Structure formats: structure tokens, C-alpha cells
Amino acid sequence: MTEAPFKPRDLSWHPPAFFERYRSTHLRAPQQPLLQMPQTETELTGPTFGQNDLGPLDDDLITNYATPGQSAQGPRIIVHGTLRDEDGRPVPGKLIEVWQANAGGRYRHVNDGYLAPLDDNFGGCGRCLTDADGHYNFRTILPGPYPWPNGGNDWRPAHIHFSVFGDGFAQRLITQMYFEGDPHIALCPIVQAIPSDDAIDRLVARLDMTRTVPMDIRAYRFDIVLRGRNATIFENQREGT
């Protein structure tokens, strides 16, 4: 074993398993508390991915489902940021997968029958690896908000789903990215299940004019943080310290 275990996950920072206003949790939230266990080699390790696992257009949702020469409909955006751990260290070479609705709020999925039409040129699936500095970058279109069955007049804020791998399976994370200024963020039970506004704010991407390309495409910045590691224990630590 070469690396220290991961820091305990702060469960009070994440949305609780059961949340009254998010009805799908009612029959799916475990009722017993999670059982704490020490990390073993199983949790400290995880799959690795390389450029060979990806196709050349995987990070470009504007064109990766489009007929050659055409592109997806909707406001063109770059989504980029840095993957770090809780100690602030960049996490390079890790797989990030994204999926999203089209500009009208419709998913290309057999189970989505929303009124908004599909876009022949948009699939809604992308992926990339973080570079040596932990940075990632996608091109896509701004997803639309959409209604969902939750017992009332519920609309999801525009969002992009993110799946992130770390060094060990204990870091595995799926989350969602929102867009600054969206009034649905404050109304959405899925978002508001997150206990604090401070934590919610970490999922809100900012318009980034420094990466916006004039006359072409706007940029949003979304940084992602994975669990860090416990402090390294040095073998030559002085007695009594």
C-alpha cells in the first residue's frame, strides 16, 4: 500500500438519502445508517482510462452526434475547469463523462417523451480525460430546463450531469453542474436537498469571459473537487510529536 487512505466523507455536506420534497427518494433511500468501514485495497484502487478508450469527438457534443458539416442547435458553450482533490492538488488523467438534455430540454433517451423535439444533430453524451494539470474541456450547447414528475409544477434548472473517477473507488462521484443566474436553482428539490447554500454554490458554473471566443462560443467554468487523502505519516517523525 503506497498511498494514505482518503479523508472521511463529510456526509452532512452532501444531500441526505431521504428528502421529502424529492419524491423518488421515498422508496429508494436506505433507512439504516451507512456502516462505517476502513478503506481496504478495494476502495483505494480504481479503474484507469487512457486516450485509447475515447473517440476523437468525444469531448465535442456540438458535433459528435451531428451529420458531418452540421452542428447541434442552441447557444454554443465551452464548459471547462480543473479537477482537484480536497488538498488542492490537481488530479490528472481521470475520466470525466457528461450527459445532458438538448437546447429544448429533451433527452435523447427511450424513456423521455417530453414535448420538446429531439435535435437530429445532438446526442447529449460526452467524455474526456483531465490533462496533466487536472484541467478538462468540453464543447456543447446550453441545455434547456424541463418539467419532471414530482407531484407538482417542478422544473429542473438547466444542468449538465457529471460522472468523475478518481485514483480510488472511494472517490467516485456523480453530480450536476448548474448555470449562474438560473432562478430554478432555488426552486428545485433535487438541488435544494443539498443542505447548505455554500455547498450548492460549488455546483454553479460561472460565465468565463477569459475563455469565451469572440464571435464564436461563450465559456463557463466549473471546478470539481474529489476527496483528499489523510496526512501522510512520516516514518522518521520525532518521538513525542
Partner 1 sequence: MALKESPSQTAGPYVHIGCAAQTAGLEKRGMGDQLGGQMVPAGQDTVTLAITILDGSGEPVKDALIEIWQAGQNGDYTTSDEFQNWGRQASDLSSGVAHFETLKPGRNGTQASHILVWIVARGINLGLTTRIYFPDEDNTSDPVFRLAGARANTLVASQTHVGYTHTIRLQGANETVFFDV
Residues identified as active-site: 107, 146, 156, 159, 161
Site for partner 1 in 206-225 (CB under 8 A): 224-225
By CB under 8 A, residue 2 contacts partner 1 = no
Separation of alpha carbons 241 and 223, rounded Å: 36
By CB under 8 A, residue 38 contacts partner 1 = yes
Q: Which three cell numbers stand for residue 14?
A: 452532501
Q: Are 65 and 121 in contact (CB under 8 A)?
A: yes
By CB under 8 A, residue 70 contacts partner 1 = no
CA distances from 154 to 7, 85, 138, 181, 205 (A): 36, 34, 28, 18, 22
Judged by beta carbon, residue 29 or residue 236, the one nearer partner 1 is 29
By CB under 8 A, residue 28 contacts partner 1 = yes
By CB under 8 A, residue 136 contacts partner 1 = no
Amino acid identity of residue 200, one-letter, is: I
Q: How far is the CB of 130 from partner 1 (least distance, A)?
A: 14
By CB under 8 A, residue 103 contacts partner 1 = no
Q: How far is the CB of 92 from partner 1 (least distance, A)?
A: 17
The helix (H) or strand (E) run that includes residue 173 is strand 173-179
- Three-state secondary-structure class, residue 42: helix
Please list, in sequence order, all residues whose beta carbon lies within 8 angstroms of the beta carbon of residue 98, skipping any fewer than 6 positions away. Answer: 61, 79, 125, 126, 127, 138, 140, 160, 161, 162, 163
Other CB atoms within 10 A of residue 188 CB: 24
Site for partner 1 in 142-201 (CB under 8 A): 161, 163-164, 169-170, 172-176, 190-191, 193-194, 199-200
Kindly report the backbone phi and psi dihedral angles of residue 164, in degrees, each rounded to the nearest multiple of 5, phi listed first.
-130, 135
Q: Of residues 97, 135, 192, 206, which one binds partner 1 by CB under 8 A?
A: 97
Amino acid identity of residue 21, one-letter, is: R
Size of the site for partner 1 (CB under 8 A): 91
Q: Of residues 2, 20, 35, 234, which one binds partner 1 by CB under 8 A?
A: 35
Q: Binding segment for partner 1 among 63-71, 132-140, 205-213, 231-239 (CB under 8 A)?
A: 63-71
Q: Binding segment for partner 1 among 70-78, 117-125, 130-138, 212-220 (CB under 8 A)?
A: 117-125
Q: Of residues 105, 124, 143, 145, which one binds partner 1 by CB under 8 A?
A: 124
